[in-house]
Structure 1
Amino acid sequence: MSTIHDVAEKAGVSIKTVSRVLNDASSVSEKTRKKIEQAMQALDFAPSAAARMLRGRPTDLVAVIAEQLTTSPDSSEIIKGIQSVCEQLGKMLLIGETGGRAQNASRLVNDLRERRVEAIMFATPFHAQVTLEPILGATPTVLANCFETPARYPQIVPDDEGGGYAAAKLVLNAGHKKIALLQLIPYMVATELRFQGFLRAMAEHGVTPRAEWLQHGAAPIPDAEFSHLQDAIDRLFATGDRPTAILCGNDKMAMRTIFILQRRGLRVPDDVSVVGFDDFRLISEALDPGLTTVALPYREMGEQAARHAFAGDASAGTMLLPCRPVERGTVTRPPKGQGA
């Protein structure tokens, strides 16, 4: 590996002159600067981050500590959002995965602080409450898609209650009153918030939810999250008085729901309208017709987290980002005579 000494020897200048070029000093002539840059290129020389730290210069390194985020394709847009801001500002992004283990997070924080990262962002694949160990010192810290109570750092989270409201409005505005809700796993932050939004929209339209149509379409079972979905849908259609619209906890659930309905001989949306959540485009745009859904602002959360981190904004507080409806082809008016 080439060193600053090798560069100085090849360029025929002193080590001090090379150091001035590395520090962007204006006292070096353009001719000498060009000679040194050519020597660096010929020797494949790259100044180390450690050397930058010793000179008191920013390392241009930032980090995100993620909980299984890079392996979750529907939420990996958070990383893309952070990376897009890094590219704009000339920062290098380091990514560490915790696998959901607190001891891994502590080790990663220690390693990253030793490397003098300029900021650390924490991100989760779903909206969650977290507890961070108090080992961050003065390193600017921002949370994305997760939050602490009380807040110690800026935290960027989706407005899941507003998303639940938006999902319900999609079918209420189309004239539906017989609406079923297949929720995510019980006790998840998003599950509770979206349910509150759903209830608010139903109340505004004077529609009373039917208890037997409020079910959980997902279960906390590893590798078998939707194992109970078939039974849940069977219960919705156990009698002739059936829902004309189904709101699903996410797009993966919505896709499976559509397949189950089709096996029952029902058409989407002519017989039953279906709404997803996430706008996971590998699903929502691939289905025919395209899935009407509510988009989670994954990429925007990443972008906002990065901008807060780079701005050095250490003020604690929560920023809610809207979950916006995306209308495609799986919602229409209820079948004739089935609106009430």
Structure 2
Amino acid sequence: MATIHDVAEKAGVSIKTVSRVLNGGTEVSEKTRKRIEQAMRTLEFTPSAAARMLRGRPTGLVAVIAEKLTTTPDSSEIIKGIQQVCEQMGKVLLIGETGGHADVASRLVADMRERRVEAILFATPFHREVAVEPLLGSTPTALANCFETPGRYMQVVPDDEGGGYAAAQIVLQEGHRKIAFLQLIPGMVATDLRLRGFHRAMREHGVTPDAEWVIHGAEAGEADEFSHLSGAVERLFSGAKRPTAILCGNDKMAMRVIFILQRRGLRVPADVSVVGFDDFRLISEALDPGLTTVALPYREIGELSGRYVLEPGDAPAGTIRVPCLPVMRGTVAAPSATKAMR
């Protein structure tokens, strides 16, 4: 997008002269005015937006610097949440994708600040730590679905520990005690937090987890992160001692687990209960029966981060953790007497 500096250079005048034209000043000659207007047309410059900047009025623009977010369907609800707030407050949302590259993020921040955006939000497709390197000056900033250790900015993240606790509670309250936990990729923030919540729920019910049943169902560095999942499920059912419930790191994993169990002749939930995580509705609502899962609050994360960065006076102090709530459908049932005796 062309700037007032570009227009001034193209027309061969000062920025102050361009400003006078934008503000309707009469002290500029007709010849100079026409030259400036022609430069604006050539550069596809928008005078109204520029005039607002020069007069110090809000531009009505809000920027999202996203990391592969618009191409990740199960977390794109974050953008929808921010967009909803912008529509309610009469703002226009600008979105820039970094592709995970720091240099692209720096360029996008510089570009958005040149456009005089009223706020910048950084958003990631999964809960993780980030380092916000670009200089943001006084531009209000928020982090959505990510956090920075120094805590310089408002940050809104899912309560993954509470989500792990909720997932375990679903099956514990149904009477299950033989529970396997197929986790996400090792080292992820969500993986560690959900495991902590799982252990807390098990302790509260007086259940000691079987260490051989708490394993990773997804692995990093593979073309298919679930390439080892089938073998992991087979090991769970290879002996006489078998789980009656399986908690999965996400809904994609849960769907595959259900298919693997069905190939073994096991019914869900009559023989084995399965719980997912995310509430990715393309999966959770499409399965038959529908998948019992724990929802990641992507829409709420977007709404809260957008609202609080635009109305900072309403924001609570510190990191905001949004609850991950259970969504009950049809893949969980009480363990039968036969299963309980195994």
Which TM-score applies when normalising by structure 1?
0.85
SS at match of 1:48: helix
Q: Distance in 2 between matches of 1:312 and 1:165?
A: 31
Q: Distance in 2 between matches of 1:222 and 1:295?
A: 26
The equivalences for 1:166-181 within 5 A come to: 166-181=166-181
What residue is the counterpart of 1:263 in the other structure? 263
The equivalences for 1:204-243 within 5 A come to: 204-243=204-243
Q: Distance in 2 between matches of 1:315 and 1:259?
A: 44
What residue is the counterpart of 2:154 in the other structure? 154
What residue is the counterpart of 2:279 in the other structure? 279
What residue is the counterpart of 1:9 in the other structure? none
What is the letter of the counterpart of residue 168 of structure 2? A
What residue is the counterpart of 1:333 in the other structure? 334
Which TM-score applies when normalising by structure 2?
0.85
Q: C-alpha displacement at 1:315, in angstroms? A: 8.1
Maintained 8 Å contact 1:81/1:302:
yes
Aligned length: 300
Maintained 8 Å contact 2:109/2:134:
no
What residue is the counterpart of 1:137 in the other structure? 137
RMSD, aligned CA: 1.8
What is the letter of the counterpart of residue 307 of structure 1? R
What is the letter of the counterpart of residue 99 of structure 1? G
Maintained 8 Å contact 2:106/2:134:
no
Maintained 8 Å contact 2:105/2:134:
no
Structure 1 residues 223-252: Cα deviation after superposition (integer angstroms, max 9, x where no partner): 311101001101101102110000000000
1:190 aligns with 2:200: no
Q: Which range is displaced more, 179-188 or 134-143?
A: 134-143
SS at match of 1:215: strand
What residue is the counterpart of 2:99 in the other structure? 99
SS at match of 1:268: coil
What residue is the counterpart of 1:12 in the other structure? none
Q: Distance in 2 between matches of 1:297 and 1:47?
A: 40
What is the letter of the counterpart of residue 65 of structure 1? I
What is the letter of the counterpart of residue 325 of structure 2? R
Q: Distance in 2 between matches of 1:337 and 1:150?
A: 53
1:202–1:315 Cα change, 3 Å: closer
1:322 aligns with 2:294: no
1:51 aligns with 2:51: yes
Identity, in percent, stands at: 73
Q: C-alpha displacement at 1:256, in angstroms? A: 0.4
Q: Distance in 1 between matches of 2:316 and 2:171?
A: 39
Maintained 8 Å contact 1:154/1:315:
no
What residue is the counterpart of 1:3 in the other structure? none
1:120 aligns with 2:120: yes
What is the letter of the counterpart of residue 156 of structure 1? V
The equivalences for 1:37-48 within 5 A come to: 48=48
Structure 1 residues 276-324: Cα deviation after superposition (integer angstroms, max 9, x where no partner): 0000001000000000000000000000000111114588620010000
What residue is the counterpart of 1:23 in the other structure? none
Structure 1 residues 252-282: Cα deviation after superposition (integer angstroms, max 9, x where no partner): 0000000000000000000000000000001
What residue is the counterpart of 1:30 in the other structure? none
SS at match of 1:287: coil
Maintained 8 Å contact 2:125/2:145:
yes
Q: C-alpha displacement at 1:338, in angstroms? A: 2.3
Structure 1 residues 119-147: Cα deviation after superposition (integer angstroms, max 9, x where no partner): 00000000000111150010000000000
Q: Distance in 1 between matches of 2:217 and 2:268?
A: 18
What is the letter of the counterpart of residue 323 of structure 1? C
Q: Which range is displaced more, 111-120 or 214-223?
A: 214-223
Q: C-alpha displacement at 1:48, in angstroms? A: 3.1
Q: C-alpha displacement at 1:339, in angstroms? A: 2.7
1:66 aligns with 2:59: no
SS at match of 1:328: coil
Maintained 8 Å contact 2:154/2:318:
yes
What is the letter of the counterpart of residue 151 of structure 2? A
Q: Distance in 2 between matches of 1:223 and 1:156?
A: 31
SS at match of 1:317: coil
What residue is the counterpart of 1:79 in the other structure? 79
Maintained 8 Å contact 1:152/1:316:
no
What is the letter of the counterpart of residue 322 of structure 1? P
Q: Which runs of 5+ in 1 are unaligned?
A: 1-15, 21-44
The equivalences for 1:289-300 within 5 A come to: 289-300=289-300
What residue is the counterpart of 1:11 in the other structure? none
What residue is the counterpart of 2:41 in the other structure? none
SS at match of 2:73: coil
Q: C-alpha displacement at 1:335, in angstroms? A: 2.1
Maintained 8 Å contact 1:155/1:316:
no
